[in-house]
Chain A
Amino acid sequence: MASVKLKNIHKEFNGVKILKGIDLDVNDGEFCVFVGPSGCGKSTLLRIISGLDDASSGEIEIADKDVTHADPIDRGIAMVFQSYALYPHLTVRDNIGFGLSLAKRPKNEINERVNTAAKMLQLEALLDRKPKDLSGGQRQRVAIGRAIVRNPEVFLFDEPLSNLDAALRSKMRLELTELHAELNATMIYVTHDQIEAMTMADKIVVLNAGHVEQVGTPMELYHHPKTPFVAGFIGSPKMNLFEGQTAQEHGADIYGIRPEHLTLSTQTGKWQGVIKHIEHLGADVIVHIQVQALGTLVARADGDFAVTTGSEIYATPQQGREHFLSK
């Protein structure tokens, strides 16, 4: 099995710096998620690991071998594309077995391995269909099957769930997590969706504008974001972030408090404001409060918290849940 090491990866394209020195270790068997807004360079980084693109400088090691200049096939990786990239002219069986047949494996071995993968992904009934006859979720599974069948040391996923509807997406999240447990392979997964990152990852790498903002487990990032970017990116609704007096009092640039870490009261509290807008989610309500000193403060409260728009309210941060961040 394999670890992935990135050393000082730079990527420049037409004079634009896309990656500005990425250092990263992904451990053997780890489920590592690259997350960040679009244009942060996460897909580029994945393509560099895959060998589809070359880094402008820097080194890549997979399973302790320097693969910086190796072809994709020599890196022991498999990749699942956002568009699935299924070969439209081939059946599901041939799609899954394509790499093996390129490698000139014997027919019965290919068959056996394709069947195994198909079984694992419940694709057996679909093996003789063409991709155009499959649903989105089925195509997704074929794409994963194509990756599994080659027994790679490292799986690369490029936003694999973004073309699915919400229900299917959460189902596939679960399946992928199970798959990871079953295969126990190293997986690198790119997404812009922080929920996917939080729910699936062993390790999250937050990328922003071509550099790594922070690396850590989901909970580390949630509880201890090191930069305002990470603080704002992880968690939903977004953390409330304010510059100004409150932050300065603690020697920081920015003060942050998550909506779920605010206690609301109609009587008293730290900040007084007026409710501008309420979103009812059922179990929770999200309350947007106009606070004179701060601006808009978003808070999460219990679903039966009964307030009305326009009424006055007080919000208090919970002890020890406050973040003081430098720019």
Chain B
Amino acid sequence: MKSSRSYPYWFILPSGLIYLVLFLVPTVTAFWFSLTQWDLFETRFIGLENYSQFFQEPFLITGAVNTVVFGAVTSIAKSILGLLLAVLLTSGLLGQSFLRTLIFFPVLVSTVGIGIAFTEIMHPARGMINVGLSYLGIHGPAWLIDPHLALFSVALVDVWKGVGLATLIYIAGLATISSDYYEAARIDGATKLQMFFRITVPLVRPATVTVVTLSLISGLRSFDLIWAMTKGGPGFSSDVLASVIYKQYQAGFYGLSTAGNIILFVLVALIVVPLTYWFNRREVDL
């Protein structure tokens, strides 16, 4: 193969170099810093103490559980809702393209802005949601200030903001399914529901893989929205690893938070890598 001549590696250089210098080098140095006590001015080598300290964090378990819950809830919700919306929005409805636009729009809006707005919208007494619910005679929950609900409230907003992207990916995925399958199924007498579960769901799998992987990674690393809305509170009830790490960072425990970063990375990798592997293996079976 003459690919060496036709596809030269120097194509990688321009931004590969930027990536190397501005992302990889700091990341690798971070490994060293995670082994030190570091107050920005001095580093003192302390071996693995940061890691053992991190594992002793009283709210580490809460944070880790919340991280996984948040990642799982948002990615599952986004893929299910995304698929349903995509099916709905490709069925030739009235106002279909307007709806697509509407649903995708939040994807583009700043997380901080959304966070600020929804903190008001979810205000337990004056917020739009609970006021709206009260018209229906429902006493709305306390959303962000109920410690049992805060994380899910943020997850709800995250899904609201992100479902448009999932829908879009699914719409693209649906477009690749040949209508032959549906016609064949119609001739075989399949109902709409059967077609959805027997044809759409299995054939749209590559899109599902994309949606689940992307939203899982971003969900596990999610920080902006949680920070803008609850700062991990009330108390520690909506803390995720990223916010625990950020708080350590803020407190000036740089070595510790760098170690936390690495642990978060390992957690993400431990969940995402086997999942991707499993997805890819399943794909071969098809």
Q: In the complex, what residue of chain B is closest to A54 when comparing beta carbons?
A: B2
Instruction: Provide the residues of chain B in CB contact with A71, threshold 8 Å.
Output: 5
B1 an interface residue at 8 Å Cβ cutoff?
yes
Instruction: Provide the residues of chain A in CB contact with B1, threshold 8 Å.
Output: 13, 53-54
- 8 A-B pairs with least C-beta separation: A54-B2, A53-B2, A53-B1, A52-B2, A13-B1, A54-B1, A71-B5, A51-B2
Instruction: Provide the residues of chain B in CB contact with A51, threshold 8 Å.
Output: 2
Distance in angstroms from B64 CB to nearest chain A CB is: 44
As a 0/1 sequence over residues 1 to 44 of chain B, the CB contacts with chain A under 8 angstroms (1 = contact) are 11001000000000000000000000000000000000000000
Instruction: Provide the residues of chain B in CB contact with A54, threshold 8 Å.
Output: 1-2
Given contacts A53-B2, A54-B2, could you give 6 more A-B pairs where the C-beta distance is less than 8 Å?
A13-B1, A51-B2, A52-B2, A53-B1, A54-B1, A71-B5
CA distance A51 to B5 in the complex (A): 11
Instruction: Provide the residues of chain A in CB contact with B2, threshold 8 Å.
Output: 51-54
> Which residues of A61-98 have CB atoms within 8 Å of chain B's CB atoms?
71
CA distance A71 to B5 in the complex (A): 10
CA distance A63 to B74 in the complex (A): 66
CA distance A88 to B256 in the complex (A): 54
Q: Is the interface of B mostly helix, strand, loop or mixed?
A: loop
Q: In the complex, what residue of chain B is closest to A48 when comparing beta carbons?
A: B2
Using C-beta atoms within 8 Å of the partner chain, give the interface range for chain B: under 10
Instruction: Provide the residues of chain A in CB contact with B5, threshold 8 Å.
Output: 71
Instruction: Provide the residues of chain B in CB contact with A53, threshold 8 Å.
Output: 1-2
CA distance A201 to B5 in the complex (A): 34
> Which residues of A148-179 have CB atoms within 8 Å of chain B's CB atoms?
none
As a 0/1 sequence over residues 185 to 218 of chain B, the CB contacts with chain A under 8 angstroms (1 = contact) are 0000000000000000000000000000000000
CA distance A53 to B1 in the complex (A): 5
Distance in angstroms from A86 CB to nearest chain B CB is: 19
> Which residues of A45-59 have CB atoms within 8 Å of chain B's CB atoms?
51-54
Instruction: Provide the residues of chain B in CB contact with A13, threshold 8 Å.
Output: 1
CA distance A52 to B6 in the complex (A): 9
Q: In the complex, what residue of chain B is closest to A51 when comparing beta carbons?
A: B2
Instruction: Provide the residues of chain B in CB contact with A52, threshold 8 Å.
Output: 2
Q: List 6 A-B contacts (CB under 8 A).
A: A13-B1, A51-B2, A53-B1, A54-B1, A54-B2, A71-B5
Distance in angstroms from B3 CB to nearest chain A CB is: 10
CA distance A189 to B2 in the complex (A): 22
CA distance A13 to B2 in the complex (A): 12
CA distance A315 to B1 in the complex (A): 52
Q: In the complex, what residue of chain A is closest to B1 when comparing beta carbons?
A: A53
Distance in angstroms from B58 CB to nearest chain A CB is: 55
Distance in angstroms from A117 CB to nearest chain B CB is: 26
CA distance A51 to B1 in the complex (A): 10
Q: In the complex, what residue of chain B is closest to A52 when comparing beta carbons?
A: B2
CA distance A146 to B97 in the complex (A): 41
CA distance A53 to B4 in the complex (A): 11
CA distance A55 to B156 in the complex (A): 60
Distance in angstroms from B228 CB to nearest chain A CB is: 43
CA distance A51 to B2 in the complex (A): 9
Distance in angstroms from A16 CB to nearest chain B CB is: 13
CA distance A52 to B1 in the complex (A): 8
Distance in angstroms from A70 CB to nearest chain B CB is: 11
Distance in angstroms from A77 CB to nearest chain B CB is: 15
Q: In the complex, what residue of chain A is closest to B2 when comparing beta carbons?
A: A54
Distance in angstroms from A220 CB to nearest chain B CB is: 35
CA distance A251 to B2 in the complex (A): 48
Distance in angstroms from B1 CB to nearest chain A CB is: 6
Q: In the complex, what residue of chain A is closest to B6 when comparing beta carbons?
A: A52
Distance in angstroms from B5 CB to nearest chain A CB is: 8
CA distance A266 to B2 in the complex (A): 62
CA distance A13 to B1 in the complex (A): 8
Q: In the complex, what residue of chain B is closest to A72 when comparing beta carbons?
A: B2
Distance in angstroms from B219 CB to nearest chain A CB is: 38
